Amino acid sequence: MDVAKLAGVSMRTVSNVVNDYPHVADATRERVERAISELGYRPNLVARNLASGRTGLVALVVPRLEMPYFASLAQQMLEVAEAEGVVLVVQQTHDSHALELKALEGRFGQPIDGIVLSSTTLTDEDIARRRSRLPLVLLGDRVWPESVSAVAIDQVEAAKAAVAHLFSLGRRRVAVVGPGVSGGSNARWRGWVQAHEEAGVTVDPALQVESEGISGEHGVAAGVHIATAHPRPDAVFCFTDWLALGVIRGLQRAGLSVPEDVAVVGFDDIPYGRASNPTLTTISPDRGQIAAVALRSVLDQGRVTTPPARHEASWRLVVRESSG
């Protein structure tokens, strides 16, 4: 009301200028914008969107923001949200199945327009039982049911490229480190196996190094284990960069040199890998593309009726010092 009074126009005219409607005289638009500037007025995006039946809020739900990959993804998505004129609500589940189920149903304590969810615990049955009709996009390396939209990179091909890189350097005993490496269901593990098959190298089960998690501490333990193995691996492919950085520390603690004694490759291209010693060779997912495709898919679902779709983002192998 203060803006309208100062500019000498109606509230409807102020609304038209704020919403950038074209049919406003230049002189009137200039007068309103000057009043907005003088008063320091900031439009209430939520109220504006509610008037059109939308909230202007989209939820991004990730396991842990302390993990560099998800912190970087959230930053990328915040930038996309700003460009799209929506507000991003970021929540973390701490790998809790109960919290992921709550997010799946859109229970955030406030109205939202859609959900982008990176899950570590949800099952196909959870997706089938979902009651919420809110637009949803799932992230991650698993194959989700066709009833839901998803965005991911080709994890198998990316992992295969990482291991093939090590084989191309003459390494032949390439260990794989991660949780559930012997279960056969992880896409990155499958890429490790396929790289062996294509290189004509026999898969040695002893090279599957199980870690309790994906943090640096778990990687250190794996690195120490690898350093004392007989025969010792001459290269390591890790499910995450955090694991890889820990493996390097564990190998160095045991007196080994990376990459001279053991080459190491990670996955995710977190910022710390660019400043480690040695710098870390890794698979770099295009997080900007993942963020943009996921958010726009959610927004598109809210505007028109669109069938669920699979979206594949790009990735690249970044070669640095840890593989020589």
pLDDT digits 0-9 by tens, 93-142: 999 999 999 999 999 888 999 999 999 899 999 999 999 999 999 998 78
In CATH, what number is assigned to the domain containing residue 121? 3.40.50.2300
Tell me if 92 is assigned to some domain. yes
Co-location of 159 and 281 in the same domain: yes
The pTM score is 0.80
Tell me if 318 is assigned to some domain. no
CA distance 64 to 67: 6
Tell me if 177 is assigned to some domain. yes
Residue-range definition of the domain harbouring residue 193: 155-285
Co-location of 174 and 269 in the same domain: yes
Tell me if 48 is assigned to some domain. no
Q: Residue 71 CB: number of other CB atoms within 10 A?
A: 16
E strands in the chain: 57-62, 87-92, 114-118, 136-139, 149-152, 174-178, 208-210, 235-238, 263-267, 281-285, 310-312, 315-318
Per-residue pLDDT tens digits for 233-282: 999 999 999 999 999 999 999 999 999 999 999 999 999 999 999 999 99
CA distance 121 to 107: 17
CA nearest to 319, candidates 169, 196, 188, 216: 169
Co-location of 232 and 162 in the same domain: yes
Tell me if 49 is assigned to some domain. no
Give yes or no for a contact between 79 and 93, defined as CB atoms under 8 angstroms apart: no
Co-location of 165 and 104 in the same domain: no
Co-location of 78 and 119 in the same domain: yes
Tell me if 319 is assigned to some domain. no
Tell me if 142 is assigned to some domain. yes
Co-location of 304 and 195 in the same domain: no
